[in-house]
């Protein structure tokens, strides 16, 4: 009896111990996988971010080491150290090939078809003999292009041998060579540099003389490689994949969230005072600021410093490798004289148009930033029309006395007669409507600029600065890649027409974090072009993360549309607050736009005092203030069935979780088209107080789990032409 009891106890203890032991993953390979010490930064082996892609039940031991081949890794006793620890249930990721090809080094050289093949087979068999599971990985590719831009392979037979051994030994293969090659080719000769160690002199301690290394990874490149390995594992049948870390978005893993490449600048500082700038209300510093930017760019980049003071300027352009830095106490005040802003061909609301040049712009620049604790003011009062109904009687009287002209009904103030004239024209400033720089001059005040215009730029940072009082949109990145927005403040008067906070248009790989918006139109807006022009451009906004942001005022908190003809996908929004916006989560489009909005993931949203809808999906956008349109007592559009064509938009595959809203006109409004219902929308954990709970029209496959709609008005929730509606 005692023996039996002892066996039970020992078995219990054994299983208790086993349950608390981590599942172990061993990485063996060369420098592209290896851990680096802080002094090596920014050099990063892909094994470093890979270790963070598993949950706490997995222990990743990175035994990869710089310069090692299948031969030298074993000869130096590194494999013996791993092998002595292996037990049943462990995994070993095996990636060699870079150094096996070094024929001039007999300590490492292992010919592909003989020694390299034999070494791989031996690693596999010895891993299995210990009860562990081997996984073979082909080597990562290097960045190599010929003079015509054609990719050049440098791996010879080594990747194919790995593939053949994996097939022969029935081992899982992760073909990193093939996947990394595709990424490098897609990025092209210049774009692929951000994957590797390409930095000028004077940035990082280890590389003070600069570095151009096409083998070893930057933090961004290492993360990109780690993510593709995790993705391959997730698509396998291996037990290990069940330990991949989930993100806050329950439908996605951590490795699936957007990966944004950062910026890096030389420490060299170019103070605008050294180029003739003076803090004064009577001096225009345009030339001094632009000269400082030009010199910094020509000398390989650096920091253009705007020190504490009051600096007036006309429009300036930021060039590659320049960080425009505003010190605390600096106010960069842009001129209120439209004559200082030449007319240029650009893009406005998704179409090609003639506009006044933006106060700050960049075109085709790489590695740029606007940072600091200062303030940028766009002198928007010199440009914006103002509606009488949005001001008090005293404010209106003061505005009228300041100059400008009124429309015939005396309900709208314009800064000039030309601006008033433009308001009566069809598509003023639009190139397709026949406008040129010459015939637009008369209406210049109407074609007001966006304050910050960043077009076709890559690796952009906006950090710390307050952007305020823009003529039109505050910040407009267009066709940009790898944009980081961190801890900025964006302000416009609440009555500022087209006074959006940030409009991210046809951009990819974007992070907007820890920022505040208090504006006159949409707060954080995602766009991708308008109608036929947007569809022809065909550039979606995609791979965007918005988190820890507050929108205090605006037509919408986080907004998609209405110009979304190029599509929007893989948008992630979490932990944001909307306090006093007209609409909270606002998805808007109309017939003629086309485009698909899909794979949208939103969670942890808090709202208060929403004038219109807390959550809105609307395909009948009318170009009006949301509190004056349908859903809030305004006009109802005609709903009719029309044929589906290229101009038919779609909203689908949208997931929203954990929304609390106290005070709204309507909790949820979904309004699709009869020919294209809004479909596959899943909302969970809603707690919404509103006059009307929900109104759903022309929709299908709508699932709402654990929702509480507290209706404070007399109008009951409504469903019209809805299929597969599930409210739990």
Q: List, by residue number, the catalytic residues.
A: 521, 555
- Alpha-carbon distance 572 to 575, whole Å? 10
Provide the token pair at 548: 């820890």
Provide the token pair at 254: 């951590």
> Between helices 158-169 and 117-129, what is the axis angle to 10°?
40
DSSP of 647-692, one letter per residue? Answer: T--EEEEEEEEEEEEES-SEEEEEE-BTTB-EEEEEEEEEEEEESE
Closest CA to 443 of 380, 354, 348: 354
> 33: which residues sit within 8 A by CB, 6+ positions away?
27, 45, 46, 47, 62, 64, 93, 95
- Alpha-carbon distance 455 to 468, whole Å? 20
Provide the token pair at 325: 């830095």
Give the CA distances from residue 286 to residues 89, 328, 334, in Å, rounded to whole numbers and listed in that order: 66, 20, 9
Number of other CB atoms surrounding residue 521 within 10 Å: 24
Closest CA to 222 of 259, 263, 181, 174: 259
What is the layout of strands, in order, in the sheet containing 23-29?
58-62, 23-29, 91-95, 133-137, 172-174
- Alpha-carbon distance 325 to 685, whole Å? 43
DSSP of 505-572, one letter per residue? Answer: ES-EEEEEES-EEE-SS-SEEEE-B-HHHHHHH---EEEEEEES-EEEESSEEEEE-SSBTT-EEEEE
- Assign residue 321 a region (left: φ > 0; alpha: ψ between -120 and 50; beta: otherwise): left
């Amino acid at each position: 009896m005692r023996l039996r009891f002892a066996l039970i106890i020992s078995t219990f203890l054994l299983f208790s111990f086993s349950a608390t032991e981590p599942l172990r993953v061993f990485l063996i390979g060369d420098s592209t996988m290896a851990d680096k010490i802080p002094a090596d930064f920014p050099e990063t082996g892909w094994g470093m971010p890979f270790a963070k892609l598993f949950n706490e039940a997995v222990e990743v031991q990175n035994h990869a080491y710089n310069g090692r081949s299948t031969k030298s890794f074993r000869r130096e006793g590194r494999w013996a150290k791993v092998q002595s620890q292996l037990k049943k249930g462990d995994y070993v990721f095996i990636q060699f090939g870079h150094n096996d090809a070094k024929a001039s080094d007999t300590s490492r050289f292992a010919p592909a078809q003989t020694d390299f093949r034999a070494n791989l087979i031996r690693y596999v068999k010895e891993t299995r003999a210990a009860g562990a599971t081997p996984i073979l990985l082909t080597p990562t590719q290097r960045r190599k292009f010929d003079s015509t831009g054609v990719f050049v392979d440098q791996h010879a037979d080594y990747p194919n041998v790995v593939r053949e051994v994996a097939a022969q030994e029935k081992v899982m293969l992760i073909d990193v060579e093939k996947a990394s090659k595709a990424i490098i080719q897609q990025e092209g000769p210049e774009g692929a540099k951000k994957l590797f160690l390409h930095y000028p002199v004077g940035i990082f301690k280890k590389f003070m003389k600069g570095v151009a290394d096409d083998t070893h990874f930057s933090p961004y490149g290492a993360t990109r490689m780690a993510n593709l390995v995790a993705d391959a594992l997730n698509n396998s049948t291996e037990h290990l994949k069940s330990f991949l870390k989930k993100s806050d978005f329950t439908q996605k893993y951590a490795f699936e969230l957007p990966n944004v490449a950062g910026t890096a600048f030389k420490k060299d500082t170019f103070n605008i005072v050294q180029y003739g700038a003076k803090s004064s209300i009577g001096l225009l510093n345009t030339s001094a600021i632009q000269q400082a930017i030009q010199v910094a760019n020509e000398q390989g980049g650096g920091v253009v410093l705007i020190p504490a003071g009051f600096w007036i300027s006309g429009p300036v352009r930021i060039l590659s490798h320049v960080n425009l830095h505003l010190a605390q106490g600096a106010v960069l005040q842009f001129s209120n004289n439209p004559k200082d802003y030449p007319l240029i061909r650009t893009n406005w609301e998704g179409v090609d148009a003639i506009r006044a040049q933006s106060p700050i712009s960049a075109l085709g620049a790489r590695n740029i930033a606007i940072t600091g604790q200062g303030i940028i003011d766009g002198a928007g009062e010199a440009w914006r029309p103002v509606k009488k109904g949005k001001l008090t009687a005293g404010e209106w009287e003061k505005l009228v006395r300041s100059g400008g002209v009124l429309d015939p009904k005396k309900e709208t103030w314009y800064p000039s007669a030309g601006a008033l004239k433009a308001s009566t024209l069809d598509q003023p400033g639009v190139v397709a409507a026949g406008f040129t720089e010459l015939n637009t001059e008369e209406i210049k005040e109407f074609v007001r600029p966006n304050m910050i215009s960043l077009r076709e730029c890559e690796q952009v940072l906006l950090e710390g600065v307050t952007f305020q009082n823009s003529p039109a949109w505050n910040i407009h990145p267009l066709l940009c890649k790898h944009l980081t927005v961190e801890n900025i403040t964006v302000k416009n008067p609440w009555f500022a027409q087209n006074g959006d906070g940030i409009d991210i248009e046809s951009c990819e790989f974007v992070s907007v974090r820890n920022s505040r918006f208090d504006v006159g139109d949409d707060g954080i807006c995602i766009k991708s072009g308008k109608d036929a022009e947007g569809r022809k451009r065909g550039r979606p906004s995609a791979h965007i993360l918005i988190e820890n942001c507050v929108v205090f005022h605006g037509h919408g908190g986080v907004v998609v549309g209405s110009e979304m003809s190029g599509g929007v996908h893989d948008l992630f929004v979490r932990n944001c607050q909307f306090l006093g916006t007209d609409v909270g989560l606002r998805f808007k489009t109309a017939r003629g736009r086309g485009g698909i909005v899909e794979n949208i993931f939103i969670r942890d949203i808090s709202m208060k005092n929403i004038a219109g809808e807390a959550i809105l999906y609307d395909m009948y956008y009318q170009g009006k203030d949301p509190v004056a349109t349908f859903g809030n007592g305004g006009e109802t559009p005609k709903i009719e069935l029309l044929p589906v064509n290229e101009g038919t938009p779609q909203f689908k595959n949208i997931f929203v979780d954990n929304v609390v809203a106290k005070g709204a006109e309507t909790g949820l409004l979904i309004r699709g088209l009869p020919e294209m219902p809004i479909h596959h929308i899943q909302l969970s954990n809603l707690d919404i107080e509103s006059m009307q709970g929900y109104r759903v029209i022309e929709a299908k496959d709508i699932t709402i789990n654990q929702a509480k709609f507290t209706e404070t008005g007399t109008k009951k929730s409504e469903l019209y032409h809805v299929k597969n509606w599930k409210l739990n």
